[in-house]
Chain A
Amino acid sequence: EIVMTQSPATLSMSPGERVTLSCRASQSISSNLAWYQQKPGQAPRLLIYGASTRATGIPPRFSGSGSGTEFTLTISSLQSEDFAVYYCQQYNNGYTFGQGTKLEIK
């Protein structure tokens, strides 16, 4: 099973700041990676697929990069609605999620 490791577990940031979340795969997954945002009491929302393609309706401040085993999700200027938990998911071999990064207000 491919293990997805996200870092850090928690990130405290202020609105307007730029933030980068990391996701590492235990073996190469090419670009077969998606990112999701989840707010309390809500279902996850797809942000990025194919490591770097924004899903429909996702603002351009969200961007994804990486391939192989190292991936990042960047939010260029944090808005109040961006504070949430973020998950990465690989679909190269089976389907596994990272444990999540909680983005909280500083």
Chain B
Amino acid sequence: QVQLVESGGGLVKPGGSLRLSCAASGFSISDYYMTWIRQAPGKGLEWISCISRSATDKYYADSVKGRFTISRDSAKNSLYLQMNGLRVEDTAVYYCARDQEYSSTWYGSWGQGTLVTVSS
């Protein structure tokens, strides 16, 4: 069955960097758009970034554009989020989610999330 497992979260100082990973199983990430969504503590959901199945198209929320980079490794069947220039307001649980095959729409499968805490 479809499974997504995030890792790489932790405590980082403002201005620091982290790389999140999302290991997929039960399907090939090359066959789907993939998305990162975050949720600040006690808050709602925020779409962050998505990548097309060909990996040629990448999209970012204005709040992270220029600081975060989405990528994937088909051989490892994994999705990544490189986060640079982290800010206190980036503190959140970060989820990876499987999108649709030919477009980015709704998210049928989610990982359990990984917590990123940005604090001095």
Contact = CB atoms under 8 A, between A and B. Distances in A.
A96 interface: yes
B108 A55 contact: yes
Contacts of A99: 44
Contacts, number: 46
Contacts of B105: 32, 34, 49, 91
Contacts of B106: 34, 46, 49, 89, 91
Given A32-B105, A49-B106, A96 B47 contact: yes
Contacts of B107: 34, 36, 44, 46
Interface residues of B, number: 16
Given A32-B105, A49-B106, A43 B95 contact: yes
Contacts of B104: 91, 95
B108 A44 contact: no
A87 interface: yes
Interface string A55-92: 11000000000000000000000000000000101010
A87 B113 contact: no
A43 B110 contact: yes
Given A91-B106, A94-B47, 5 more contacts: A43-B113, A45-B110, A98-B44, A99-B44, A100-B44
24 contacts: A34-B106, A36-B45, A36-B107, A42-B112, A43-B95, A43-B111, A43-B112, A44-B110, A45-B110, A46-B107, A46-B108, A49-B108, A55-B108, A87-B44, A87-B45, A89-B45, A89-B106, A91-B106, A94-B47, A95-B47, A95-B50, A96-B47, A98-B44, A100-B44
Interface of B: 35, 44-47, 50, 95, 104-108, 110-113
